[in-house]
Amino acid sequence: MTTKLSRVLGEEDARITPRRVAPALFFLHRFAEPIARTDYVLEVIQGLAMEAQEALRERGEGARLFTVSLFRSDGDTKRLMIETGSATRDPALIMRLMRERIEALADPLDPGFGYDAIRLDVAGTESVALVQPRLDREAETGEALAALVDRIGVRLGRNRVRRLHPGNSHVPELASLSGPASAPPLPLPVSWPWPEAEQNEPPLRPLRLFDPPQRIDVLAEVPDGPPRRFRWRRATHDIIAHEGPERIASEWWRRREGHERGGQNTGGLTRDYFRVEDSEGRRYWLFRHGLYGDERVNPDWYLHGSFA
């Protein structure tokens, strides 16, 4: 009872310190006397990175996340974290990103009275396949791009550099998700992209999608006929050709999501998609949201994308 009263009065520190997940590998270097020179600190980190390389090579693995902990003699700890877009165990890459990280710090490293120990943590490991180098010893385009993304991510922050990752959903706006460029791709039950999608001409999905889809006024045959004319942004488009419909059912576990219309959520409705071409030769991707005969809602039409 006394302890609870002290915590209520703020006389006792009741904060909970969460337990950190133990790293897959860690490498520690202790000093007989504290060190303070930044160049010597980098040399020690490089030695730890080489130890990590040997350990990862024996396991046939690499890592994406490396954390360096600098333990000062006064008890303070400074942590530097770098993340790569693909699993690696290259000490040169680790050190290049570590220097970029130190240079990007708002406050420079303050060794105080010196560091007693330095530790390199490898948060998680992944399998790394052996790669045959090119005969001309030039870097592959993919490797150069990955290195550029890593450098920019270290300087600007992990969440500032993003790319689209394939999503495990048949709903168009959920088929690709934006995430950090350094994050590993999500596992999918099928190969991506689909082989049959590469053989279609023109593509079944437009490169440009509107978020959210834009409401349009459509003249179409009832109940399930294709659109004949639609009005968008105060302009009328006469449709001379169409393909479809492609029916996409809703995801029952996402029925609370969708486009709000008149205070009613329509996330659980079926969509009928049409690829259309107007009299000017422009091609659009339209869908009818809902089915005629359904008492819950009268179908609306939306423009979801345009083809290049």
Asked if residue 271 is part of any domain, the answer here is yes
301: left (phi over 0), alpha (psi -120 to 50) or beta: beta
pLDDT in tens, 197-225: 455 555 578 888 888 899 999 998 877 88
Asked if residue 177 is part of any domain, the answer here is yes
pLDDT band, residue 283 (cuts 50/70/90): very high
Residue 56 and residue 118 in one domain: yes
Asked if residue 37 is part of any domain, the answer here is yes
Residue 188 and residue 219 in one domain: no
pLDDT of residue 47: 94
pLDDT of residue 235: 93
Domain extent at residue 182: 161-201
3-state class (DSSP) for residue 56: helix
pLDDT of residue 230: 95
Q: What is the distance between the alpha carbons of residues 50 and 45, in angstroms, rounded to a whole number?
A: 9
Residue 42 and residue 110 in one domain: yes
Q: Which of 66, 59, 64, 57 is nearest to 26 (CA)?
A: 66
Q: What is the CATH number of the domain that holds 60?
A: 3.30.1490.100
Asked if residue 20 is part of any domain, the answer here is no
- Evaluate if residue 302 carries a pLDDT over 70: yes
User: How many domains are contained in the chain?
Assistant: 3
Residue 265 and residue 150 in one domain: no
Taking the whole predicted model, whether its pTM rises above 0.75 is answered as no
94 contacts 79 by C-beta, under 8 angstroms: no
Residue 35 and residue 138 in one domain: yes
Asked if residue 1 is part of any domain, the answer here is no
CA 16 to centroid of chain Cα atoms: 31
Q: What is the distance between the alpha carbons of residues 265 and 304, in angstroms, rounded to a whole number?
A: 18
Residue 34 and residue 151 in one domain: yes
pLDDT in tens, 136-146: 655 555 667 77
Asked if residue 132 is part of any domain, the answer here is yes
Q: Which of 23, 9, 39 is nearest to 109 (CA)?
A: 39
Q: Percent of the chain beyond pLDDT 90?
A: 30
Residue 32 and residue 69 in one domain: yes
pLDDT band, residue 86 (cuts 50/70/90): confident
pLDDT in tens, 252-282: 766 554 444 433 344 568 899 999 999 999 9
pLDDT of residue 258: 46
Residue 107 and residue 219 in one domain: no
101 contacts 82 by C-beta, under 8 angstroms: yes
Q: What is the distance between the alpha carbons of residues 68 and 119, in angstroms, rounded to a whole number?
A: 6
Asked if residue 249 is part of any domain, the answer here is yes
Q: What is the chain's mean pLDDT, rounded?
A: 81
Residue 258 and residue 283 in one domain: yes
pLDDT of residue 164: 79
Residue 231 and residue 285 in one domain: yes
- Evaluate if residue 133 carries a pLDDT over 50: yes
pLDDT in tens, 25-46: 999 999 999 998 888 999 999 9
pLDDT of residue 260: 44
* Mean pLDDT confidence for 237-262: 73
pLDDT in tens, 176-192: 778 887 777 666 655 54
54 contacts 29 by C-beta, under 8 angstroms: no
Q: What is the distance between the alpha carbons of residues 125 and 90, in angstroms, rounded to a whole number?
A: 14
3-state class (DSSP) for residue 72: strand
* Mean pLDDT confidence for 91-109: 85
Asked if residue 5 is part of any domain, the answer here is no
Residue 185 and residue 269 in one domain: no
pLDDT of residue 48: 95
- Evaluate if residue 129 carries a pLDDT over 60: yes
Residue 65 and residue 113 in one domain: yes
